Chains A and B, each alone.
Chain A
Amino acid sequence: MSSDPITARGDLRLTRITKSYGDFKAVDDLTLTIPKGSFFALLGPSGCGKTTTLRMVAGLEEPTVGSIHLGETDITTTRPYQRPINTVFQNYALFPHLTIFENIAFGLRRRGIKDVKEQVDKVLSLVELPHLAERKPTQLSGGQQQRIALARAIVNRPALLLLDEPLGALDLKLRRQMQIELKWIQREVGLTFVHVTHDQEEAMTMADTIAVMNEGKIEQMGSPADLYDDPETAFVANFLGQSNLIKGKIDGNDGDNLVIDLFGQKISMPKSRSHAVDTSLYAGIRPEKFRISRTGTAVRGNTLAGGRIEDVSYIGVSTQYVVAMPWGQELMVFEQNDDGVPPFNKGEEVIISWEPSFTFGLRGDEDIEAGTEVNPEEIDE
C-alpha cells in the first residue's frame, strides 16, 4: 500500500462508490472492475453519472463514499497529477498558448522524461500528424485536434486512458473513421481504455465490455453481443437498439424452456434467458429477429397470428414494418430484402414468427418505456 501511486498498474476497481451533490446522487453505490488491457465503455444517457464516474477515476472529483483501487494501490484521494491516468477531454482542452509539440510534451516534461523529442515524434506519427508539430491548436481542424488530444494522453503510457465523449464534436463520417482508428490504436499501444459515451453504436463498435449506466447505477455489464442479445432490463433493451416488449404470463415448463402466454397465444423461450421474478413477464424480441408470413403459410418456431401491416418503410438494406396486433400493440419488424419475396402491403393480414432462442424475458413490473425517451444527440456535460 505504501507504493507510489504513479507506478501503480493493474485492474481498476471501484468499490461501492457514491457521489452526492446535496440530495442528488450522481453516482449511487457503484461497484465495478475494469480489467487491465481492456477497451471498456461506460454507456448511458445524459446525466446518468458516467462522466462523474470518469472524473472520480481521473481525480478531478472525490467520491463521497467508496474507494478506487488501481491494482493494489488505493488512489481514492490521490491528486490527479499523482495518478498514472490520463484523460482525453470532451472538447480536447488543448493548451491554446502552446504549440502542438509542446502540448504533447507537457506530461513528459512535468515528469522529467529525457527523450521528449523522440517520444513526441513517435506519437505524432502514430496519429499520422507529424507535420503539425509547430502549429497552434486553433489552426487545426476538429478531427486533428481530437487526435492531438489522444496523442497528448497516450504519449505518457498511462495505466489507464480515459476518454470523455471523445468523438462527440465530430461529424458522423469522421466519427466512424475515428472509432475504427481508436480501436486500432488501443490494440497497438496495449493500454486500458475507459470510454464514456451516450452513443450506443460508438460503444458497441469499439468496446470489448460495456457497462450500461442509468441514474447513477449500472444496469447491466457485458460484451456488446451479450447486452444486445440478452438484455436484463427494459432500459438496456431500449437504450441499445430497439426492442418489442410484449406483456405475458409464464404458463408452465417444457424441459429447458418456459411456456409463455401472450394474450392467449402460447410461445416458448429458454429458461436461462428469463429475468422475471414471478409469473408475470415481458417477452422481448428484437425487430430484426421477427419474420413476417402471409396468413395461411406454414411457419416454424414461435408464432403470433392476427397481425395486420400498419406501415411499410423501404430502407434499402431492409424493409421496416409496423404490425398491429389483435391486443392493440404495434410491433416493429425489420425484414432483410434478401429473399425475393415482394414486400407486404399496408393492410395485409400476416403471421409473425421467430426462433424461440431469440426471446428474452424481462420482469413483469418493468417500465417498458425506460430508455426510449433519450435523445441520442445529447451531450453529457
Chain B
Amino acid sequence: MSTKIKDASIPTIPFKARLSRWFGRNLLRIYMIFGFTYLFIPVAYTFAFSFNDSGKSNLIWKGFTLNNWKNPCGAPEVCSALGNSIKIGLLATTFATILGTMIAFAIGRYQFKGRSSSNLLIFLPMATPEIVLGASLLSLFLVFKINPGFWPTVIAHVMFCISFVVVTVKARIASLDPRLEQAAMDLYANELETFRRVTLPLVAPGIAGAALLAFSLSFDDFIITNFNSGTLITFPKFVYVAAARGIPAQANVIGSSMFFLALAIVIAGQLVNRKKAR
C-alpha cells in the first residue's frame, strides 16, 4: 500500500473531462459491439431455434432438444431440396468461375476492340433487378421451348454469378506484376508453364474467393430460381413455401450448419495465408 500524496502542483482532471475522454477512447469499441449485435442477433436466433422441440411450427420456444440436429432430414423434402441447391450451386460455381476467370483475364490483360464496353456490360447483370432477370429468362427459355427445371436454373445461376467472378478475379489480376510472368518466360518457362506455375498460383486466392462468392449467391437465390426451376424444389424455395405453414426446425439446422461451414472456410483461409506469409 502506498500512501497517496496530494500534490497541489499536479492538477486533477475533473470527472466530466475524464468521462468524455473515456468515451472518446472507447466510442469505436462501443459502436462495434452494437454493430455486431445487430448483425448477429438473427444468426443467433436461427441457431437457438434449431434446438427447439417445436413440432410443426418453429415460432414459439417449446423446449430444448437435440433431435433436429440428430435427424436433419426429418422434415419431409428438406434434404432433397438441400441436395438440389448444392448440386445447382456446385455446377453454377464451376461454370461461372471458369468462364468468369477467362473473361477477367481477357479484360484485365489484353487490349482489344470493345474492351471498355465489355468492362461496362459485365456490370449490368449485377445492376439489373433480379425479378426482371428471372422473368425475362423464363420467357427466353419458353421461346426456345425449354421447360423450366434443373438445367435452366443452372444456366440462369451461371449467368448472374459470372459478373461477380469477373469483378473479383479482375481485381486480383490488376494487382499482379506483369514482370513476374516476363521473369518466368525469361527463365525458360513457355506460355503454358508460365500460366500454370506463376500466373495461376498468384491469382488463385482471387479465384477461390470468387468461387465461394458464386456458390453462396447461387445457393441463396430465390427470385430467379423461382421463375426458372419449374417443379424443382431448392432449399430457398422449400423455406419460402414452408413459411406459409411453419418452417420446420430442420431448416434452422441446415441454415446454422451453412453458417458455421462458411465461417470455418474463412478461418481456414486466414490460417493458410498466415502460414504462407511466415
Contacts and interface: CB of A to CB of B under 8 A. Distances in A.
Given A91-B179, A110-B193, A152 B187 contact: yes
B186 A80 contact: yes
B275 to A, nearest CB: 11
A107 B188 contact: yes
Contacts of B184: 95, 106
Interface string B197-236: 1100110000000000000000000000000000000000
B182 interface: yes
Contacts of A87: 182-183, 186
Contacts of A153: 187
A196 to B, nearest CB: 15
A339 to B, nearest CB: 52
B277 interface: yes
Given A97-B201, A97-B202, A107 B187 contact: yes
A89 interface: yes
Contacts of B202: 96-97
A161 to B, nearest CB: 11
A111 B177 CA distance: 24
B185 interface: yes
Contacts of A95: 180, 183-184, 198
A59 B182 CA distance: 10
A93 B194 CA distance: 14
A94 B179 CA distance: 9
B195 to A, nearest CB: 13
A253 to B, nearest CB: 55
B139 interface: no
A94 B202 CA distance: 12
B269 to A, nearest CB: 15
A279 to B, nearest CB: 52
A266 to B, nearest CB: 57
B43 interface: no
Contacts of A89: 179, 182-183
A293 B198 CA distance: 66
Contacts, number: 63
Contacts of B186: 58-60, 80-81, 85-87
A138 interface: yes
Contacts of B190: 79, 81
Tell me the interface secondary structure of chain B in the complex. Answer: helix
Contacts of B189: 81, 106, 110
B150 to A, nearest CB: 39
Contact of A79 (B185, B276, B277): B185
Nearest to B187: A107
A138 B277 contact: yes
A156 interface: yes
Contact of A93 (B183, B197, B201, B277): B183
A213 to B, nearest CB: 22
A93 B179 contact: yes
Interface residues of A, number: 26
A59 B277 CA distance: 33
B182 A86 contact: no
Interface string A88-113: 01110111110000000011001100
A93 B182 contact: yes
Nearest to A113: B188
B198 A80 contact: no
Interface in B80-123: none
A29 to B, nearest CB: 26
Nearest to A86: B186
B187 A156 contact: yes
Given A81-B190, A110-B193, A93 B180 contact: yes
B201 A110 contact: no
Contact of A80 (B177, B180, B182): B182
B188 to A, nearest CB: 4
Nearest to A162: B186
Contacts of B187: 81, 86, 106-107, 110, 152-153, 156
Contacts of B188: 81, 107, 110-111, 156
A95 B185 CA distance: 12
Contacts of A110: 187-189, 193
B131 to A, nearest CB: 43
A80 B185 contact: yes
A136 B185 CA distance: 21
Contacts of A80: 182, 185-186
Nearest to B176: A96
Interface string A152-172: 110010000000000000000
Interface string A212-236: 0000000000000000000000000
A153 B186 CA distance: 9
Interface string A132-163: 00001010000000000000110010000000
Contacts of A136: 276-277
Nearest to A6: B188
A343 B187 CA distance: 58
Given A80-B182, A85-B186, 20 more contacts: A80-B185, A80-B186, A81-B187, A81-B190, A87-B182, A87-B183, A91-B177, A93-B177, A93-B182, A93-B183, A94-B183, A96-B202, A97-B201, A106-B189, A107-B188, A110-B187, A136-B277, A152-B187, A156-B187, A156-B188
15 contacts: A81-B186, A81-B187, A86-B186, A89-B179, A89-B182, A93-B182, A93-B183, A97-B202, A97-B276, A106-B187, A106-B189, A111-B188, A136-B276, A153-B187, A156-B187
A-B complex: 10 closest residue pairs judged by Cβ atoms: A107-B187, A110-B188, A93-B183, A93-B179, A80-B185, A81-B188, A87-B186, A97-B201, A106-B187, A110-B189
